[in-house]
Structure 1
Amino acid sequence: MTPVESIVERGQIAQQKYEQYTQAQVNLVVEAVAWAILEPKRNQELAELAVQDTGLGDVADKFKKNFRKTLGLIRDLSTAKTVGVIFENLKTGLTEYARPVGVVAAITPSTNPGATPINKILNALKCRNAVVVAPSPKGHSTCARLLEFIHQQLDLVNAPRDLVQMLPFPITKDSTNELMRLADLVVATGSQANIRAAYSSGTPAFGVGAGNVLAIIDEHADLNGAAAKITQSKIFDNATSCSSENGVVICADVYSGAIQALENAGGVMLDEADKKRLEGVMFQGGKLTSTLTAQYPSVIAERAQLQNPKAKEAKFLMVEEDSFGSCAPFSGEKLSPVLTVWKAADFKAAQDLVTHVYDYQGNGHSVGLHTALSGDVMEKRAATLAENLKVARVIVNQAHTIATGGSFENGLPFSLSMGCGTWGKNNFSDNMNYRHYLNITRVVRPIPERVPKVEDLLKDYFARFPQA
């Protein structure tokens, strides 16, 4: 038996015991495991370890992310029913029972080595599953420490430790692939290579699409408010999130004012020479390198040898672009505090430009819209984007990174894994949530027969095309 086979077998044994828990017992386990990362001292240690070992992001922002994402998820889970009857309709004779899926393989990225594993773990446990985490190699140490805290909490509530396990070090593609083959469900977040591996593992899988989020600032926007939200979002955790704005499309009527607002908020616009210097380090052969991923602007300025003296003091850097696609690498995802800026003639032109950029990279994820704060303008513009762009979310007048994965100020489920639908080559377009970790069994009872008449169901057709 291989080490991975042994881990999965132990998970199966623990899950079979856990499946007998009542809803109250499950809820207690979930609350206990949540405290493993919500407790401030443990959270701080995990945040520091994450940045130390991955070299990505910001400790204070990691702390905030670990706390807010977990707190929000626990809020979502607190009222969810995942044991026994979860739906009943006597009129249709249907009753639905929540059932676990078994052992979940949780594939997690280096960008969020604490927040993403705990999110998947809590969702899995809420649905009476066991879970085995496959962290990125860089995120291994953070995940291992998190599991030490989780096991302490499981001991406290007398739940099996083997409900939550991880792959042993060193993390390899072979061990991760073996885990995915042996598990009952794969939930994958990270590189598109990992997502493709999950989908081809032979195990049912949920995987997420690529980022490259753009935001539109239209002629009705509160420019200072938009700039403040974009800045808050862009610089959070040094743009590790797939929901971080990679570009902003600004309507021409307010372009100069919007640029000024972004500069006032801490952005620094690079000239063409510095843009070329940055491109030479950030992209190799038109493809994004990891050299500048999730680094501070000061580090980026130094590594790219930028000449603008303000670059080292910037909150984020900006480059102007007038094209898209492989000929314009800055139109793609950057995973760093670098923001691409386009000028569009009007809102329709802005929408068209987003379409072209997303066809290159980013279809399915999300788009941001900064417009009038309320009223018909806001509703019509949001509706236009929702009906025409290949996106699963239209985020209106919010800091995109904060809002897309669920926020206390919107109604999306808290998550660190955003489905992008078929546009992003995913099989779902929701924020990944506990319902993706459930099987549902339906009891189907007989009801009085109701057979409709053909002429009633096809009445509109027959009215237009009378049959001979």
Structure 2
Amino acid sequence: MALDYDLSSIQEARDLARKAKEAQRILEGYDQEQIDRIVAAMSEAAVANAEWLARMAVDETKFGIFQDKVKKNLFAAKNVYEFIKDMKTVGILYEDTRNKVIEAAYPMGVVMGIIPSTNPTSTVIYKSLISIKSANGIVFAPHPNASRCINAAAQVMHEAAVKAGAPEGIIGCVTKVTMAATDALMKHDDISVILATGGPGLVKAAYSVGKPAYGVGAGNAPAFIERSAHIKKAVSDIMTGKTFDNGVICASENSVLIDAPIKDKVVAEFEAQGAYFLSKEEVEKVSRVVMTPKGGMNSSCVGKEPKVIAEKAGISIPEGTRILIAPLEGYGPGFPLSYEKLTTVLACYTVKDWEEGCLLAIELLNLMGAGHTFSIHSQDDAIIREFIRKPVSRILVNTPASLGGIGYTTKLAPSLTLGCGTIAGSSTSDNVTPMHLINIKRMAYGVSEAVASERGNCSSGTVSTEDIAAIVKKVLAELKG
């Protein structure tokens, strides 16, 4: 039976890819006005359905917070839409009349969208919008633990697109979720590009199939509170970033680095805002519950409130605790909580100055999260600018990392796929937008004359036909002799 189901799922994936390609061939003939009308309708539908999709996501995955999932759905439906709605993505994009170069867009084809369980419905909304905006089709491969809500979101987006004039089948989603189906979809000839959001193994697989792919790496973002920071706001930002949807956004803070001269004030402020500092014994208990022996995240603790984690670890925490903070003396295999934690647990270190903070942040990023995100809280612009050298793609200043990274509280491109650059083996360091899903062709007119090369000349002058005849006669006479 398992084999039959796998074969059936593979066939479904192939059918979806084929239908999406047929639909995309039609869509690529639409003009910008037609595309924009469809995208606007999809945005409206996503806004109208944001709440029940969020409820479905929480009920199915048991991750995160309903209200925050609503906000993420609305972020994808509104913020992403507002950012992309006026983008020119069809036909001529730019014309340089002086240098006589014309740039024109043409779509990549069909996108494969790999969707995680942590941000399922919002990622479907976001990827649907940017794919259709760039005149591509898209087929989703859901995480098995979120397949129902992912399919529901895909259906909402597809119905809205078709009602507004898009061809049937332009957005598809696998319902029979198996690794065999995901693999078949990745390798299908009708899939042109892979937009991968998920675990490191799946993202690596996406890059290995030989197609263009945009993938994201692990987060594990450090947050440094430098001595000139506005302490109350810095702590508030970090608490907001880490508690938003219970920490499941990959850009969320995973460790806090405190400048030694302000340590006592920072600790007091964290406690005042609902943080609980774990004792050394409690750190060990929480480590065993939250992390696996190999340094991975225990899925039963992903996106959970501190109360749930404390109960699993067998420790007592104050009522109303918003976050658990684990003071650590090192990082790496002996310190499990120094790795990425998509939940309400934050590692904590004390550093003597910004230079030590900089070095420790780099070590933490190299351990896990290189290329992704780092945040700093400081009022000293000279020190802030020193951190531009960090091995990350997003350096966020005085803002919650999770929300700043996706472009909610910053002017970065609103996105739920955050590239990590070649630092982490990713093909882009950008927040992915529709412009990453189009090819750009260029028409270039000649603007200068080519200089013809002179042939047959030598340093001693031109060789005449009489000279050539004399040489030939001489050679023939020698051969006869």
Q: Does 1:177 align with 2:183?
A: yes
Q: Counterparts of 2:429 and 2:139 in 1: how far apart (Å)?
A: 24
- Structural mapping, 1:260-275, within 5 Å: 260-275=268-283
1: CA distance, partners of 2:421 / 2:36 = 31
How far apart are the structure 2 equivalents of 1:313 and 1:290?
A: 23
The amino acid of 2:387's aligned partner reads: L
- 1:79 alignment partner, one of 61, 86, 94: 86
Task: Indicate the SS of the match to 1:291.
Answer: helix
Alignment-derived partner of residue 158 in structure 1: 165
**Residue 313 of structure 1 aligns to a residue in which SS?**
coil
| Partner deviation per Cα, 1:106-133 (whole Å, 9 max, x = no partner) | 0110001101111111100001111001
> Which amino acid in 2 is paired with 1:217?
I
**Residue 85 of structure 1: CA displacement?**
0.6
Indicate conservation of the 8 Å contact 1:419/1:430, yes or no: yes
- Residue 390 of structure 1 is matched in structure 2 by 391
Cα 1:98–1:272, aligned 2, differ >3 Å: closer, same or farther? same
Which residue identity lines up with residue 382 of structure 1 in the other structure? I
SS at match of 1:193: helix
Give the corresponding residue for 2:478. none
The residue number in structure 2 matching 1:400 is 401
State the shift of 1:275 in Å.
1.0
Match of 2:284 in 1: 276
Alignment partner for residue 33 of structure 1, among 42, 48, 60?
Answer: 42
Q: Secondary structure at the match of 1:410?
A: coil
3-state DSSP of counterpart to 2:249: coil
Q: Residue in 2 aligned with 1:454?
A: none
Counterparts in 2 of 1:151 and 1:370: CA distance versus 1, 3 Å: same
Pick aligned residue for 1:321 from 311, 324, 328 = 328
The answer for the alignment partner of 2:144 in structure 1 is 137
Q: Is the 8 A contact 1:36 1:146 kept in 2?
A: no
Q: Which residue of 2 aligns with 1:429?
A: 429
2:43–2:129 Cα contact (<8 Å) kept: yes
Secondary structure, counterpart of 1:2 in structure 2 = helix
- Equivalent residue number for residue 369 of structure 1: 376
Residue 127 of structure 2: SS of its match in structure 1? Answer: helix
Residues 400-419 of structure 1: pairs in structure 2 closer than 5 A: 400-407=401-408, 409-419=409-419
Say whether the 8 Å CA contact 1:62–1:237 is kept in structure 2: yes
CA distance in 2, matches of 1:350, 1:449: 58
User: For residues 219-230 of structure 1, what are the structure 2 equivalents within 5 Å?
Assistant: 219-230=227-238
286 and 154 in structure 1: CA distance in 2 versus 1, 3 angstrom threshold: closer
The whole-number CA distance in structure 1 between the counterparts of 2:118 and 2:327 is 27
- How far residue 167 of structure 1 moved from its aligned partner, in angstroms, is 1.1
Deviation of 1:449 after TM superposition, in Å, equals: 5.3
CA deviations over 1:12-52 (Å, ceiling 9, x no partner): 1111111111101100100111122111xx21110110011
Distance 1:159 1:53 in 2: 30
**1:241-289 alpha-carbon deviations (Å, 9 max, x no partner):** 1111000001001011111111111101111111111111112324232
Once the two structures are TM-superposed, the CA of residue 158 in structure 1 deviates from its matched residue by 2.8
8 Å CA contact 1:382–1:394 kept in 2: the answer is no
Task: Quote the residue 1:60 is aligned against.
Answer: 67
Shift of 1:367: 0.6
With normalisation by structure 1, the TM-score equals 0.91
Report the RMSD for the aligned CA atoms in angstroms: 1.4
| Cα deviations by residue, 1:159-195 (Å, 9 ceiling, x for unpaired) | 22311001122x1111111111111110101100111
Q: In the aligned structure 2, how far is the partner of 1:19 from the partner of 1:305?
A: 58
Give the residue type in structure 1 aligned to 2:407: G
Q: Which amino acid aligns with 1:324?
A: Y
Does the residue aligned with 2:123 lie in a helix, a strand or coil? helix
Q: Distance in 1 between matches of 2:162 and 2:214?
A: 30
Q: Measure the CA separation in 2 of the matches of 1:306 and 1:91.
A: 71
The 3-state SS of whatever aligns with 1:106 is: strand
Shift of 1:450: 10
* Structure 1: runs of 5 or more not aligned: 452-468
- 1:390 partner letter: P
Determine whether 1:99 maps to 2:106. Answer: yes
User: Counterpart of 2:222?
Assistant: 214
Larger Rg: 2
Which of 174, 186, 190 is the aligned partner of 2:194? 186
Whole-Å separation in 1 of the counterparts to 2:228 and 2:435? 38
Of 8, 17, 20, which aligns to 2:29? 20
8 Å CA contact retained: 1:330, 1:340: yes
Matches within 5 A, 1:214-363: 214-288=222-296, 289-307=298-316, 309-310=317-318, 312-363=319-370
Percent identity over the alignment? 30
Provide the C-alpha distance between the structure 1 equivalents of 2:217 and 2:288, rounded to a whole number of angstroms. 26
Q: Distance in 2 between matches of 1:160 and 1:139?
A: 27
SS where residue 283 of structure 2 aligns? helix
Between stretches 177-186 and 342-351, larger displacement belongs to 177-186
Other structure's SS at 1:114 match: helix
Q: Distance in 2 between matches of 1:124 and 1:331?
A: 36
Greater Cα offset, 320-329 or 19-28: 320-329
For 1:23 and 1:178, the matched residues in 2 are separated by: 32
Q: Distance in 2 between matches of 1:174 and 1:259?
A: 49
CA distance in 1, matches of 2:243, 2:98: 52
Q: Who is 1:462 aligned against?
A: none
Question: TM-score, normalization: structure 2?
Answer: 0.89
SS class of match (1:231): helix
* CA positional deviation for 1:148: 2.6
Which of 186, 200, 205 in structure 2 is aligned with 1:197? 205
**Higher deviation after alignment, 257-266 or 219-228:** 257-266
Runs of 4 or more above 4 Å deviation: none
**Alignment partner, residue 51 of structure 1:** 58
1:157 is displaced (CA, Å) by 1.4
Residue of structure 2 in register with 1:440 after alignment: 440
Q: Residues 386 and 393 of structure 1 are in contact (CA less than 8 Å); yes or no, is this contact kept in structure 2?
A: no
**What amino acid maps onto 1:447 in structure 2?**
V
